[in-house]
A = this chain, B = another copy of it.
Amino acid sequence: EYRSSWRGLATANTLPSAFPALDTFADRHIGPESREVSHMLKELGYNSMDAFVAATVPPKIRVASEAVSNESIPPLSESELHRRARDLANANKPFKSYIGMGYHNAVVPPVVLRNVMESPAWYTPYTPYQPEIAQGRLESLVNFQTMVMSLTSMDIANASLLDEATAAAEGMVMAFVSSNQKKRTFLVDSSVLPQTLSVLQTRAKGFGIQLVVGDVFESLGDEALLSDLCGVLVQYPDVNGSIKDYSNLAHIIHNNAGGLLIVATDLLALTMLKPPGEWGADIVLGNSARFGVPAGYGGPHGAFFACTDKLKRKMPGRLIGRSKDAQGKPAYRLALQTREQHIRREKATSNICTSQALLANMAAMYAVYHGPTGLKRIAQKVHALTQFLRSSVEIYGYKAVNKEFFDTVTFDVSGAIKDAEAVHSQARAARINLREIDAKHVGVTLDESVSAEDVVAIVNVFAAAANSSADLADVSSTDSLSISPALQRTSKFLPHPVFNTHHSETEMLRYIYHLQSKDLGLVHAMIPLGSCTMKLNSTSSMIPLTWPEFGNVHPFAPIDQVQGYLAMIKELEDDLCKITGFHACSVQPNSGAAGEYAGLSVIRAYHESRGEGHRDICLIPVSAHGTNPASAVMAGLKVVPVKSLGDGSLDLEDLKAKAEKHKDNLAAFMITYPSTFGVFEEGVQDACKIIHDNGGQVYLDGANLNAQIGLTNPATCGGDVCHMNLHKTFAIPHGGGGPGVGPICVAEHLEPFLPSHPVVALGGEESINAVSAAQFGSASILLISWAYIKMLGGNGLSAASKVALLNANYMAHRLSGHYNLRFKNRNGRVAHELLIDLADFDKAAGLKVTDFAKRLQDYGFHPPTCSWPISTCMLIEPTESESLEEIDRFCDAMIQIRQEAEDIITGKQPKDNNVLKNAPHPISVITLSEQEWNRSYSRQAAAFPAPWLQERKFWPTVSRVDDAYGDMNLICDCPSVEEMAHGSA
């Protein structure tokens, strides 16, 4: 009896197979049990899953079931996966790294580690598009913004970008745009991080920006350069640890040359250094990871980005602002949403969508916990240890190249030894990594995790290399700072109450729990956001992530120390190739949009390699996600939109006409499959053929890959390259708005062009430059998708896709008759999501999509994707992880709201003051006095319209948030001491 999987899905592949493992993951990941699957099939009129799938997925694009099967991807049980992850962890060598170059060992406060990073309450929510059920992480992101603004002394900061290098690229493009795209020269100091430079090179190409790399002070003597200058990037402190005074540079740029001064910097250093905002920076950016986020072999980390007030409406990424709700109470929400690519499309100059919310939250919590005094103490200790190191190492004849530094010293070794390798070989013997600069120079960067004993061990390394035994400098060598007085910080930072209150673990824990209590995540209910695939983020796949063997790894650690990581990444890449039908993979892009940009850049490089670099037209359906046109523009392409037909399918005629019209310059076609309208288009292969016939390449946006696995694949559909959102299809949690990973898979002819990296050997001669700071992007979270794939195995993966289709179709079936299903295929089937059109309600009674969405909150659900890809629609995606019970509960809610709308349409309820227009109803509204409760419906009807809510109710914490007010009165930091005192927070 135990030998067949009792919930009816995959079984594990153990030896002897007579005794299969019982902790099979498919049984836990997939929501409906087999009897529920049968029930849904029956409701839809099919007697088997196969028959259902045949009616749903066009036969001509189906792939053989061997492609993704238990033979090609054998499933591991949950405990087998755990053991395998343990083996990989043990294959990474835990050397201590002092390499620096933008990456540090972090000390994660245990209370934050366990209650934020490891907590599904924090990692499962989506980007806070629904502010009424997201005030917790909105507040935390505002803390992040405030922290960045205060430490950098800038007017405004966003809620994170993907990494420091891409943040620098965003800055460069802002500078270019600020010159009205007139000035094309961008000057980069030669001491910026090499990975930043590489990413700038990639990005400059698309925009036709001219990068000049050199000593900024010297370069500014060049008049020709000055006249075309849109901006300058410097690093403060720089890659070698030096701290230069750039105030004069700022003066020159602002008064003589014009253009923006962009400063890459380090938040911890800024507790001791004069902040760039005080000496003229226009944009300040960097990596916040040393505020309690593990190195994780390169990421994910929250980059920060701050600018002057003048530039604020050009700033990329998500910005959180304070507004007010329908009751006039303060409330946070995403500000300036009108700037996002959904609206701007090909006029956007940034494609940033998913960012690094979870990591930004961790960094913000770190600052909340330590407070200004704690941060300063940490910085002071790091600095003093660095001074002590410098003085001790100099005893042996090594010479510090930089006299002024914060945490990094570059030693000229030539006074002591012949070749730096002598130091490095001693270091390796001591299980230490130092920065390998060249034969004459060795770099050392310290951080919060470093103890005096660690420094003694480093000193020993240098001493041994010089055939000496350790001697230490006097501690008095640390008595005065190694920072010139003019560059020492004198201004206060983080005076806000939130950074000066939660300093005991008990207080911090309560603050974390208080914020999370306001946020709806997958721990509460379905989040049926179309195109976002909010599925289970399993504990088994999350557990290895916070093992130190994966967390404490520097991305530039020698290759023999990272064999566990490399094996895992190779397996993941191979599996993604099997799943997509492609030949090669790059996991470097750290979001879906970054994947789009990388894939299109690869296509451009391919055309160039064939002498067709002029190909610059990109066809994109009007229904495409806003990141598609934005990415195309960034890759230097011109966007030509393609129409859709009335049935939602691509207008092949229009496609053909435009492909032919542009055939000499056709670079690419971008398509999402199944389409963003939620149907499998029959003509996808025909469309791709049209493109290929006209010399173009096909980019497939894999956001909807969850509909495909084991049934079809992007290669079979006709694509040349696709990105995947590992944070959708492959179960990386959304983290409240990131992290994400957007790897690209490509056909064989495109492999030579996959991204390289300037520090770590990757790619070949024809490779494009880097698209992310780290060679494998957000490497540590690749573990999650790796585990997801390995645990489901081939059969489980395709079972998941089948159930995703089934759940969506069952939902469409239940809602039909109540709502207008906008598109379906000729058999009446949708794909893994469904689009319902609410336009009629607006016509009949002025009821908008938003009214339905906010009312769903009252029923305890996160609303589906609203007004995209069609403004009057909702796009609903249940995913395979939702059980029949949850899906029915959601349908019941939708149907009941339909009835509530009917009462408004028929005049039983007023058109303005009704349950939909007033939704959502927080407790503060429900408990209004009898006088204030001036409504034609009862409190019960407002808050408990469905029976299950009596037992299980998630409460919005504010009423409907006023976006326009917030955008007009943009306030993006947390309340100050004065505001708290006056109660205006």
A residues adjacent to B (C-beta < 8 A): 1-2, 6-7, 14-16, 18-19, 21-23, 27-31, 33, 78-79, 107, 110-111, 113-115, 118, 120-121, 373-374, 376-378, 380-381, 384-385, 388, 448-449, 451-453, 455, 475, 478, 501, 503-507, 509-510, 513-514, 522-525, 536, 538-540, 542-543, 881-883, 885-886, 923-924, 926-930, 938-940, 943-944, 950, 952-953
Contacts and interface: CB of A to CB of B under 8 A. Distances in A.
Contact of A1 (B19, B21, B377): B377
Contact of A939 (B27, B110, B120, B929): B929
Contacts of A384: 2, 19
Given A1-B376, A115-B120, A377-B22, A505 B14 contact: no
A381 B20 CA distance: 9
Nearest to A542: B114
B2 A536 contact: no
A38 to B, nearest CB: 16
Nearest to A507: B883
A514 B929 contact: no
Contact of A504 (B29, B121, B388, B950): B29
- Specify which of A31, A377, A478, A524 lies most central, judged by the most chain B CB atoms within 10 Å of its CB: A377
B513 A1 contact: no
Contacts of A19: 381, 384-385, 388, 451-452, 455
A542 B115 CA distance: 12
A927 B926 contact: yes
A451 B110 contact: no
Contacts of A30: 504
Contacts of A451: 14, 19, 21
A455 B18 CA distance: 13
A509 B881 contact: no
A504 B377 contact: no
Given A513-B524, A924-B950, A505 B929 contact: no
A885 B497 CA distance: 13
A239 B536 CA distance: 42
A539 B111 contact: yes
B378 A2 contact: yes
Nearest to A82: B110
Given A29-B504, A503-B7, A944-B927, A523 B540 contact: no
B507 A31 contact: yes
Contacts of A539: 110-111, 113-115, 505
A359 to B, nearest CB: 19
A969 B503 CA distance: 48
A120 B110 CA distance: 13
A380 B2 contact: yes
B113 A501 contact: no
A723 B415 CA distance: 65
B7 A505 contact: no
Nearest to A535: B506
Contacts of A506: 31, 522, 536, 881-883, 886
Given A114-B118, A927-B939, 15 more contacts: A1-B376, A2-B377, A2-B378, A2-B380, A2-B381, A18-B475, A19-B452, A31-B504, A110-B538, A114-B542, A506-B522, A506-B536, A507-B883, A510-B523, A928-B939
Contacts of A14: 451-453
- Specify which of A7, A374, A451, A513 lies most central, judged by the most chain B CB atoms within 10 Å of its CB: A451
A1 B380 contact: yes
Contacts of A475: 16, 18
A404 to B, nearest CB: 20
A841 B924 CA distance: 32
A536 B504 contact: yes
A451 B18 CA distance: 11
Contacts of A374: 6, 22
Given A543-B110, A883-B506, A930-B930, A513 B6 contact: no
A121 B2 contact: no
Nearest to A881: B506
Contacts of A923: 923, 926, 943, 953
Contacts of A7: 503
A853 to B, nearest CB: 21
B943 A6 contact: no
Contacts of A950: 924
A886 to B, nearest CB: 8
Given A377-B2, A924-B950, A522 B505 contact: no
Contacts of A452: 14-16, 18-19
Nearest to A504: B31
A233 to B, nearest CB: 32
25 contacts: A1-B376, A16-B475, A22-B374, A23-B107, A27-B504, A31-B506, A33-B503, A79-B449, A110-B543, A114-B542, A114-B543, A120-B509, A501-B885, A504-B536, A505-B536, A506-B882, A506-B883, A509-B522, A510-B523, A513-B523, A513-B524, A926-B926, A927-B940, A928-B939, A929-B940
Contacts of A540: 110
A35 B610 CA distance: 72
Contacts of A111: 28, 538-539
A584 to B, nearest CB: 33
Contacts of A23: 107
A879 to B, nearest CB: 9
Contacts of A33: 503-504
